[in-house]
Amino acid sequence: MMNRLTDAMNFQAQALTLRAERQRLLASNIANADTPGYQSKDMDFAKALRAATSPAAGTDSNQTLTQRTQSALQSSLSAMTSMDSNTVDMDRERASFADNTVKYEASLRFLNGSIRTMLDAMKSPNAA
């Protein structure tokens, strides 16, 4: 019964967790912008979300989220590499970071909306 109440939020909840993961990846890239030899990493978000929300993902619960997102990880190809073979492109990382921030907030708002809808539905008609 509880499942049916929260099923609608599952998708946005997964999206939110994955956005947090990507935010962390981008933070690592920005932190290592001056580290020699560091290879910049990014997540194929669509692929990761599909893997996380597919029916098969639910059955294999002992696999952590991070293990599941591992497959969607890719090193981003840089337009130019520096002489210390660091592939962090700061402009692109900052753009991705801003983009991910906005999309994280969007997921959060969708989730808040579903929660509010559910709470409103639970309210007694006399209370309002």
Partner 1 sequence: MSMFSIFHISGSAVSAQSQRLNAVASNMANADTVAGPDGQAYKARQVVFQSVLAQNGTDQTDVGVQVVGVQENQTPGRRVHDPSHQLADADGYVTYSNVNSVEEMVNMISASRSYQNNLEVMGTAKSLLLKTLQMGQG
Residue 57 vs 73, nearer CB to partner 1: 73
Interface mask toward partner 1 for 65-84; x: CB under 8 A: -x---x--x-----------
Write down the least CB distance from residue 93 to partner 1, Å. Answer: 9
DSSP-assigned beta bridge partners for residue 74: 42
Answer yes or no whether residue 104 interacts with partner 1 by CB under 8 A: yes
Q: Token digits for 88? A: 């962090």
Query: Which range, of 44-52, 53-61, 74-82, 113-121, touches partner 1 by CB under 8 A?
Result: 113-121
d(CA 77, CA 88): 9
Q: How far is the CB of 19 from partner 1 (least distance, A)?
A: 9
| CA angle 111–114–119, rounded 5-degree value | 125
| Furthest CA-CA distance within the chain | 71
CB proximity list for 87: less than 8 A, separation 6 or greater: 38, 39, 40, 75, 76, 77, 78, 81
Nearer to partner 1, 55 or 128 (CB): 128
DSSP letter, residue 39 = P
Where along the sequence are the contacts to partner 1 (CB under 8 A)? 16-17, 20-21, 23-28, 30-36, 38, 41, 66, 70, 73, 90, 94, 97, 101, 104-105, 108, 111-112, 115-116, 119
